[in-house]
Chain A
Amino acid sequence: MKPHAPTLLELQHAIRQSLLGGVDGDASAFVINEGLDPGERLGIYRNAAAGVLVTALQLAFPAVQHVVGPEFFEGAARLFAAEAPPRSAWLDAYGADFPQFLAQLAQAASVPYLPDLARLEWKVNLVLHAADAEPLEIARLATLSEAELEDLRFEPHPAAQLLRCEFPADAIWHAVLERDDDAMAAIDLADGPVWLLIQRTHGDVHTVRLSEPEWRVATALFSGQPLGAALAAASCAEPHILLAAHLVRGCYVSFSLAHATIALKP
């Protein structure tokens, strides 16, 4: 007997539940049973979709995959994909929550630095695919008065990210991707925490270790705090020297005073 004809909305909800939950339920009832049963037919789509998402995560987290091995990685990626599927078809932007998922995965607890490595790879992925933009010309700041400088707010470059890691994740990342066993063996896991700036310049993504005071200034500026407050947060002897060194890194695109944007782009 034929079941009732579902609306398109009902059908798509049923198939979504089947593909994500692995339970065919209503979806099977809507599919013609000929030769192969509906569950097998839906399974073709479920496996194909899982394969696409595993591949997307492999591309974003190559060092994590190398550390845990391809089989473990695929299992974890499939679990994650079922639990936290993407919100859009732009899969370069998929995987933001994978580091947190790994941090809670009991089977991965034997590799203490894994969540840090995953967080770093996610930042690298963000930076790799971030929009193109010209960095701010620092000379533009020269025209401002002391009082104006105090109130200055900076817009971070889209291809610049900050990350604090408990473990030396940058050294691990380099050693793993370069398959450099000697470098890996030389890493002291106690050599942390590290404060990292991850940025793309001329197409290449690289990580820079910041001093703790510079990291505090950068974090304050990235979060939109005015320059005066950011320098106070640095709590170091020569904040203006620190700032000069920080600004030449090219991790901002523009600055603004109060509500008026003074310099968006040259």
Chain B
Amino acid sequence: MNASVLMPQDAPGRIPARAGIGLRFRHHQPVAEARPDVAWFEVHTENYMGGGTVPQYLDAIRRDYPISLHGVGLSLGSAEGLDAAHLGRLRHVIDRVEPGLISEHLSWSVSGGTYLADLLPLPLTEEALTIVCQHVDQVQAYLKRRILIENPSTYLRFWHSTIPEWEFLAHVAQRTGCGILCDVNNIYVSACNHGWDARTYLAALPPAAIGEIHLAGHSIREFGQGRTLRIDDHGSRVAPQVWALYREALDRFGPIPTLIEWDTNVPPLEVLMEEAAIAEAVLGEHRHEAACANAA
């Protein structure tokens, strides 16, 4: 089923093709009080599942800004099925926040009824593809909305994987009608870690399915004897190579809502706004190109 037809094009709180910022707790008060010039905010769904003051801040902020919900806990790749209670909590947050976009990850984190607290990599097999697609179908039918699926950063690969990750993601979008949240930093990190070609990855993604882009900082971890891995720790500014890849992504996809994420040692909002301004400039160039192309 193509769920995109279920999402009205001008839904309230629709996310514009501009630069947004990942809203963290330390920003609640400054944003609620100063109303900074930010096009939209994204929050982690799991942080707003209860009552009290935390969701009340979001109630106030969402009156002035479109909000996107980004989840880490659905575990779409779990062989044992989705957690109905978690799905129920997600719908409760959606009803309250009325987000413009809802996204989750191409990963798993629940096994044997235990939440493993990280976005774990899937074996890229036909079996996993079938399971992920069933779960995306199930979520979209339950929410009566299209969701976006984000490509993960990964630090290992499995022997028995048979499908390149970029093809796997494109298949999920094609079979379920879901959109793709293209995390350009994750593509760069995984490409470095596994010797992939980031451009091959971008070229394999269907442009019409791209609903959002993520940008974040990563770090390089040393493992001795010159061995390193890039770690997606969201703890620094976006790397120059990732900005370059972002331009290539927009060349291919056109202007797409773009989020600046920062989760470790979260800086003041001003730093995030500086990063957003860089993304906004790149988006501006591509909006201009898109307008020229339409006029021609």
Q: Which residues of A contact B (CB under 8 A)?
A: 2-3, 5-9, 11-13, 15-16, 19-20, 30-32, 34-36, 38, 40-42, 44-45, 48-50, 52-53, 85-93, 128-133, 158-159, 200, 203
Contact = CB atoms under 8 A, between A and B. Distances in A.
A96 B108 CA distance: 24
Contacts of B46: 89-92
A44 B231 contact: yes
A53 B122 CA distance: 22
Given A8-B131, A20-B114, 7 more contacts: A5-B159, A8-B79, A12-B120, A16-B116, A35-B227, A128-B52, A159-B52
A12 B115 contact: no
B115 A85 contact: yes
Nearest to B115: A86
Nearest to B112: A16
A30 B158 CA distance: 6
Contacts of A19: 116, 118
A89 B75 contact: yes
Contact of B117 (A8, A30, A52, A158): A52
Contact of B51 (A13, A35, A38, A158): A158
Interface residues of B, number: 51
Contacts of B223: 36, 40
Nearest to A40: B223
Q: Output the residue of B53, B111, B231 with the most chain A CB within 10 A.
A: B111
A52 B56 CA distance: 24
Q: Output the residue of B52, B72, B120 with the most chain A CB within 10 A.
A: B52
Nearest to A56: B117
Nearest to A54: B117
B148 to A, nearest CB: 18
A131 B111 contact: no
Interface in B216-239: 221, 223, 227, 229, 231
Contacts of B208: none
Contact of A44 (B77, B160, B229): B229
Contacts of B112: 13, 16
B96 to A, nearest CB: 10
Contact of A2 (B114, B159, B231): B159
Interface stretch (B11-19, B35-43, B82-90): B82-90
A129 B75 CA distance: 23
Contact of B114 (A6, A85, A129, A132): A85
Contact of B157 (A32, A53, A86, A87): A32
A90 B211 CA distance: 26
Given A40-B223, A85-B115, A203-B56, A5 B160 contact: yes
Contacts of A92: 46-47, 49-50
22 contacts: A3-B159, A6-B123, A8-B77, A8-B123, A8-B127, A12-B120, A15-B120, A30-B159, A32-B159, A44-B229, A45-B155, A85-B117, A86-B117, A87-B115, A89-B117, A90-B50, A90-B86, A92-B46, A129-B49, A129-B51, A130-B52, A133-B51
B73 interface: yes
Contacts of A42: 156
Nearest to B54: A129
A134 to B, nearest CB: 12
B193 to A, nearest CB: 9
